[in-house]
């Protein structure tokens, strides 16, 4: 896919979400939500709260074109890597731990693998920014960050690749990590709801294919989120450190928290009743863990500066997201 097509797809997906939210909860509160795009070569997005925290919300999310372009390219490269693992090799055999060596869901074709991962990942990041805004993290951080004494026009919360973000330490870093994890929770929750909404739709997938498509989407969602975490981490080591520093938690730390959040949510009786998939708890856990494993394997083996193999210490999890493209046309 050409870059311009990636921008168009992202604009459509995130524009629709913004429209729905703006006409829904924001309109009910007398507030507004907008989305903006920027052309700088920055892998990131940020959230701006333009009004006062006790007034109707005036929120804005800004996304960099470079961010969506890179998410797509990472997904493409990741799929190519997985398809290139030689059958019967040592790496291939590592997958035996997850019951089978299937590395990409067979119910989707090559383009759908990338597209579903892409949509899941950019949607998750969008919801992460919504999480910052809904919880007014800009206001919370202001209480702990050094102030220059000037009047602020907005409360911004930035999510940039580590190389673009300033290195913070101490209490400021701690507050930043806590608010990032809180936004992660919101985003993951929204993504799971979106996934269930799609899977339950009989126009999207019929009863016969539901469980397989559901499993495929969950797997690709967790892969997509994992890749975004690694990319945001930049050249920093992916092994967690003993001291909290920097603006964002380590990618493995984030995965250790959201992967269980995903499989626990999907294992709930309400989710099962709503979406009607037939995947037991063990399968859910292994599915999510395999996805996080695949992404960690890819990042460890192709980005030499990060670290040597740290096979997803995140127990076993993964997650999915919204606006999936389905292939009901599976044979």
Where along the sequence are the contacts to Zn ion (CB under 5 A)? 159, 180, 183
Closest approach of Zn ion to the CB of residue 64, in Å: 14
Q: How far is CA 151 from the centre of its chain?
A: 34
**CB 145 to Zn ion: min, Å:** 15
Distance CA 325, CA 119 (A): 9
* Distance of closest approach, residue 99 Cβ to Zn ion, in angstroms: 34
Q: Quick check: 143 and 251 in contact, CB under 8 A?
A: no
Q: How far is the CB of 250 from Zn ion (least distance, A)?
A: 14
Residue nearest to Zn ion according to CB distances in the complex:
159
> Which residues does residue 34 pair with via DSSP β-bridges, in sequence order?
60
Residue with Cβ nearer Zn ion (17 or 133): 133
Nearest-angstrom CA–CA distance, 195 and 41: 31
Tokens 């990131």 sit on residue:
44
* Biggest alpha carbon–alpha carbon distance for the chain: 64
Q: Which is nearer to Zn ion, 188 or 211 (CB)?
A: 188
- Integer Cα distance of 244 and 251 in angstroms: 13
**Residue from 276, 266, 282 nearest 320 by CA:** 266
**Pair type for strands 58-64 and 32-38:** parallel
Residue closer to Zn ion by CB (options 182, 274) is 182
| Closest approach of Zn ion to the CB of residue 176, in Å | 8
Q: In sequence order, what are the beta bridge partners of 37?
A: 63
b/e burial code for range 98-127 (CB count within 10 A of at least 16 → b):
beeeebbbebbeeebbbbbbbbbbbbbbbb
Quote the least distance from Cβ 168 to Zn ion, whole Å: 13
Residue with tokens 């090559």: 110
Decide whether 105 or 249 has the Cβ nearer to Zn ion. Answer: 249
As measured in angstroms, the least distance from the Cβ of 319 to Zn ion is: 17
Distances (CA, A) of 211 to 53, 107, 272, 286, 321: 43, 11, 11, 15, 16
For residues 93 and 116, give the distance between their C-alpha atoms in angstroms, rounded to a whole number.
Answer: 26
Q: Measuring CA to CA, which residue among 202, 226, 326, 220 is closest to residue 275?
A: 202
Q: Which is nearer to Zn ion, 180 or 194 (CB)?
A: 180
Which residue number, 319 or 326, has a Cβ lying nearer to Zn ion? 319
What's the min distance (Å) between Cβ of 111 and Zn ion? Answer: 30
Q: Which residue has the tokens 């919504």?
A: 130
**Least distance between Zn ion and beta carbon 195 (Å):** 21
For 276, left (φ over 0), alpha (ψ -120 to 50), or beta?
left
């Amino acid at each position: 896919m050409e870059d311009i097509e990636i921008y168009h797809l992202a604009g459509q997906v995130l524009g629709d979400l913004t429209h729905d939210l703006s006409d829904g909860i924001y309109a009910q509160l007398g507030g507004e939500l907008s989305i903006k795009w920027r052309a700088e070569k920055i892998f990131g997005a940020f959230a701006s709260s333009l009004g006062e925290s006790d007034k109707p919300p005036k929120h804005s999310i800004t996304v960099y074109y470079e961010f969506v372009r890179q998410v797509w390219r990472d997904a493409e490269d990741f799929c190519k890597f997985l398809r290139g693992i030689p059958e019967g090799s040592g790496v291939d055999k590592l997958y035996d731990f997850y019951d089978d060596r299937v590395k990409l869901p067979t119910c989707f074709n090559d383009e759908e693998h990338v597209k579903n991962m892409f949509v899941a990942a950019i949607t998750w990041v969008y919801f992460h920014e919504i999480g910052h805004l809904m919880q007014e993290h800009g206001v919370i951080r202001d209480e702990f960050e050094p102030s220059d004494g000037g009047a602020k026009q907005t409360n911004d919360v930035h999510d940039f690749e580590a190389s673009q973000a300033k290195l913070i330490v101490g209490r400021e870093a701690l507050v930043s990590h806590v608010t990032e994890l809180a936004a992660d929770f919101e985003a993951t929750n929204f993504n799971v709801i979106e996934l269930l909404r799609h899977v339950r739709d009989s126009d999207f997938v019929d009863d016969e294919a539901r469980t397989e498509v559901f499993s495929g989407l969950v797997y690709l969602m967790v892969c997509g989120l994992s890749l975004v975490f690694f990319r945001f981490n930049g050249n920093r080591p992916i092994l967690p450190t003993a001291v909290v520093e920097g603006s964002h938690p380590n990618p493995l730390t984030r995965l250790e928290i959201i992967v269980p959040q995903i499989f626990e949510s999907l294992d709930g009786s309400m989710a099962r009743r709503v979406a009607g998939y037939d995947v037991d708890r063990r399968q859910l856990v292994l599915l999510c863990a395999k996805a996080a494993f695949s992404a960690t394997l890819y990042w460890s083996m192709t980005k030499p500066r990060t670290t040597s193999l740290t096979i997803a210490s995140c127990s076993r999890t993964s997650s999915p997201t919204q606006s999936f493209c389905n292939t009901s046309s599976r044979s």
